Amino acid sequence: MARSIASLTISFGLVSVPVKLYSATQARGSISFNLIHAKCGSRLRQQYICIKEDVVVEREEMVKGYEFAKDQYVTFTAEELKALEEESTGTVEITEFVPDEKIDPIYYDKAYFLAPDKGGAKPYALLTEGMRSTGRCALARWAARGKQYLVQLRPVGEGLIMQQLLYADEVRPMSDIEIPATQVKEAELKLAKQLIEQISAEEFNPKVYEDDVQKRIEAAVEKKISGKEISVSPEAPGSKGGGQVIDLMEALRASLNKGTPKKAQPEKAQPERKQPKRAVAAPAASKAKAARR
C-alpha cells in the first residue's frame, strides 16, 4: 500500500480541498558502482582540493559561490541562501484552468498522485469531475523544499495527478535546431502511412518494455560475484553510427514486405529477481559490487 509523503490543501476559488500527496513513480533499484582502488580493492574517498593552495578543504570551510565573470565569484553562506528560499505553506493555489491539449508534454517533469484527505472527499470529487466534464486542467503554484513549482492538476480515472511542470526558460524552442525544408512525395507518404498502420497499437502498454541494459548489468555483476568469466560479444556488423544514404521508397517497401511483426507481449511472470549480493572479502568480487552512492 502506498504511503502518503505530505498533506496539502488545494485552493480552488473559495473552496479548500485537503489532499494527501503520493509519489507516482518509484526507484527501481538500479545498480550503481563505487570507485575502487584497482591495486588493493579498497573503496576510494572523494576530497575537495583548493586549486590555489593545493590543500584539502573540509566541508566546514566551504561556502557556495556564483561565478559572475571569469574566475570572479560572489559567495553566499548557508544562512543567506536559506533566507532566499520559498516558504512552504502546504497550499497548491490554482491560478487558472486551460484545455488539456494546450499543455505540451515537453513541459512535464515529476508526477504525483493526489487523494482526498479527511473531510475532502466531496470537494475533491467536485474538482475532478468539473475538470473532466469541461476538458480542462488546472495550473497552480506549489512551494516545497524551499522552491516554488508550477504544477498541473489533471483528472485521470477517478483521481487527480499533480504534474510538476518545467518553466518556460527551462525548455528550449524547436527553432534552436536546424530542420531543412524537404518535399514529401505523395507515393512515399502513402507507403509511410501503410507502415505506420501495420505496426500500430490501440494503446500503450508499458509492461512490454524492459531495460535490457539494466538486465545485462545485473547478470554481469552476478557472474563477477560468482567468480565466473564474462565473455564480451563482438560488435554487430553495421552497428556503428554515421549517416547512410538510402532509397526511401525501397526502404518503405522492404519494411512493408516483412509483414506485420508480432506485437510485444508481456513476459510470463518469473520469480522475483534478487538484487546481486554484495561481494565478501575477495578484492576481485569487490570491484564489481553494486551499491548506491
Higher pLDDT: 55 or 25? It is 55
Instruction: Sketch the domain layout of the chain as residue ranges.
Output: 6-28+89-170, 211-227+274-293
Distance, in Å, from the CA atom of 196 to the CA atom of 176, rounded to the nearest integer, reads 28
CATH number of this structure's domain 6-28+89-170: 2.40.290.10
Predicted structure pTM score: 0.68
Closest to 147 (Cα-Cα) out of 165, 124, 161: 165
Strand partners, 112: 23, 162
| pLDDT of 207 | 86
* Sole residue written with cell 519494411: 255
Reported in sequence order, the residue ranges of the chain that DSSP labels E, i.e. its strands, are 6-12, 15-23, 64-69, 72-76, 91-99, 108-116, 136-144, 147-156, 159-165
Residue 284 scores a pLDDT above 50: no
Residue 250 scores a pLDDT above 60: yes
Average pLDDT estimate for 263-289? 46
| pLDDT of 287 | 40
Higher pLDDT: 70 or 236? It is 70
What are the tens digits of pLDDT across the range 109-163? 999 999 999 999 999 999 999 999 999 999 999 998 889 999 999 999 889 999 9
Helices 248-257 and 186-198 cross at an angle (nearest 10°) of 30
| pLDDT of 283 | 41
37 falls in which pLDDT band (50, 70, 90)?
Answer: confident
Residues 6 or more apart in contact with residue 54 via CB below 8 angstroms: none
Which of 120-124, 262-266, 274-278 shows the lowest mean pLDDT across its residues? 274-278
> In whole numbers, what is the pLDDT of the chain averaged over residues?
82
